[in-house]
A and B are shown apart, each in its own frame.
Chain A
Amino acid sequence: MHNCEIRGLLQAEIRRILDMDTAKAVSPTPETTTPDEAIKVEDLHKSFGTLEVLKGVSLTANKGDVVAIIGGSGSGKSTMLRCINFLETPNSGKITIGGELVEMHADGSPSNRRQIERIRTRLAMVFQQFNLWTHRTLLENVIEVPVHVLKVPKTEAIARAHELLERVGLGDKADTYPAYLSGGQQQRAAIARALAVDPSVMLFDEPTSALDPELVGEVLTVIRDLAAEGRTMLLVTHEMKFAREVANHVVYLFEGRIEEQGPPAEVFGNPKSERLKQFLSSVA
């Protein structure tokens, strides 16, 4: 039994090392565009009926970037994030993920189902409401996508899931169902689930907004850690202090347009737009 587990761990480790090697071997990437671009959004438009929510948003996140997206309620932050992995169908625009342009019909819907499914496996989303699968234990939640979508061998996925749960401080909760956990614990589990697919970009939509104030800190700690290890992240948040601290790029969205963007010191320290000034003073 123990032997088995150790072997699984070793195999996972070996695989990871091998993966790194192959990544190194091909490191001069054949892409002609800038190889560092993790996500590139160009002139994104989205309407719900007659309500135009995104009015031409363009945004680039390079590998290792932490982009914080701030803005008032209803400014289109969630919609933008959801358009990136096509949970919402944009009306027009171009989305390029890791150098790969997402094929779209003229009406903005993805035209290649397989491509969109493949790209989604590299974009892990963390939701405001956690959205863990309630009929599965934390361990089952974490291995679900690796085993069934990515076809990782189960023992390997389990070993990795234990590591990830350990990492977010839930090592002893692997066999617990989500409903028995606090919001903060559920959100950390959701982050472990997202990490399990080894995503190239993580999308966070207000990950702490549904939490009691005393639980916010534990989740932010985990996210701060991920930022420090160089994970590429798009982070919609109302935690301005946190955004200032972890992000290297801040985007202020106002009524479906990017009103101002730049390094956090600039955006928070020396805002140019009147609206941003007002917004910052209202949330401070």
Chain B
Amino acid sequence: MAQSAELLSLSPPGWGGNLLRGLSHSLQIAFGAYALGLVIGLFGAYGKLYGGKVTRDLLAIYTTVIRAVPELVLILILYYVGSDIINKISAAMGGGRVEVSGVGAGIWVLGIVQGAYATEVLRGAIQAVPPGQIEAAKSFGMPAFMTMRRVTIPAMMSFAVPGLANLWLIATKDTALLAVVGFNELTLETRQAASSTRAYFTFFLAAGFLYLMVTLFSGGIFARIEKWARRGQPSLKGGSR
């Protein structure tokens, strides 16, 4: 026990600092990827619902392919293809090899994956908004973009939040997959600590604990967001507002 505490201590020779650094990297990527995924998802959902035939076909290919291929494979493809393209462009412009930043690459790769799922979550949520509410906005001369901002998006939130909460948790856990491209997020840091000290059990338990804390904390935050998004809707349990 005392030995474990020593191993996990924040300052060297303990490995706790490394784990926390890994966690911070993981969270940075998760945040960035999630935000990027939401932006892609919003455009994707509107494109799928209101876009022309070409837009809709392209988006259908995007969401189908991304959701069909295992994430690990996608990460390998997007990471290596992405850095290859960047290097080719750099070479063409007379530059040297570019070192692709781990966080940046992670955000792009996971963000593109998240975007496909977010597109579907948001598309469903937008379709669940009673059309009369959008029609009312239109009938008062509200321009289309303002209607989206003031009516559609707030009204769809209550339908979208549960799905978006799931996506966030998936984002935090998918960061672990970036270990395969050598990015030092929480899982890779844990593996390094464990193999250097042979204390596999201690370190993986600690990492598991950290992931669990993230999940619990996120759960609390999303419960609040959901409560806010559902404002104005009587709860099924009855009672007051």
On chain B, the residues within 8 Å of A180 by CB distance are 234, 241
A120 beta carbon closer than 8 Å to chain B: yes
Instruction: Report B159 CB to chain A, min CB distance, Å.
Output: 11
- Closest chain-B Cβ to A2's Cβ sits at a distance in Å of 26
Q: Does B140 contact A (CB under 8 A)?
A: yes
Output the nearest chain A residue to B146 by Cβ-Cβ distance: A148
Contact B151 A133, beta carbon cutoff 8 Å: yes
- List B residues 119-175 near A (Cβ within 8 Å): 130, 132-133, 135-143, 146, 150-151, 154-155, 157-158
Shortest Cβ distance from B156 into A: residue? A135
For the complex, give the distance between the alpha carbons of A133 and B154 in Å: 10
Q: Mark A131-158 against chain B: 1 for CB-CB distance below 8 A, else 0.
A: 1111111000000110011000000000
B117 CB, nearest partner CB in chain A, Å = 24
What are the residues of chain B within 8 A of A121 when measuring CB–CB?
A: 140-141
Instruction: Scan A155-186; emit 1 where CB is below 8 A from any B CB, else 0.
Output: 00000000000000000000011111000000
Verify if A87 is at the interface (C-beta below 8 Å from B): yes
CB contacts (< 8 Å) of B143 on chain A: these are 117, 149
Question: Which one of B135, B142, B232 contacts A134 once the chains associate, using CB atoms below 8 Å?
Answer: B232
Q: Is the CB of B140 within 8 A of A131?
A: no
User: In the complex, what distance in Å separates the CA atom of A144 from the CA atom of B141?
Assistant: 12
Select B135's contact among A131, A144, A176, A179, beta carbons within 8 Å.
Answer: A131
Return A98 CB to nearest CB of chain B, in Å.
14
Choose the segment among A29-37, A61-69, A122-130 that binds chain B (4+ C-beta atoms closer than 8 Å): A122-130
A127/B132 in contact, CB under 8 A: yes
Selected from A127, A132, A135, A145, the residue in CB contact (under 8 A) with B142 is A145
Which range holds the interface residue count of chain A? 20 to 34
Given contacts A125-B139, A148-B146, contact A178 B133 (CB under 8 A): no
Q: Which residues of A contact B141 (CB under 8 A)?
A: 116-121, 145, 149
Bound form: Cα–Cα A178–B233 in Å: 9
Contact of B132 among A131, A135, A137 (CB under 8 A): A131
The smallest C-beta distance from A7 to any residue of chain B, in angstroms, reads 27
Nearest neighbor of B149 in chain A, beta-carbon distance: A148
Contact A124 B136 (CB under 8 A): no
The CA of A148 and the CA of B141, in the complex, are separated in Å by 11
| B231 part of interface (Cβ distance < 8 Å) | yes
Give the chain B neighbours of A125 by CB distance below 8 A: 136, 139-140
**A-contacting residues of B (Cβ < 8 Å)?**
130, 132-133, 135-143, 146, 150-151, 154-155, 157-158, 229, 231-234, 241
Q: Other CB < 8 Å A-B pairs besides A87-B138, A135-B232, 6 of them?
A: A117-B142, A120-B140, A124-B139, A137-B232, A177-B231, A177-B241
Which 8 A-B pairs have CB atoms at the shortest separation, nearest pair first? A120-B141, A177-B232, A121-B141, A131-B132, A131-B136, A125-B139, A117-B141, A145-B140
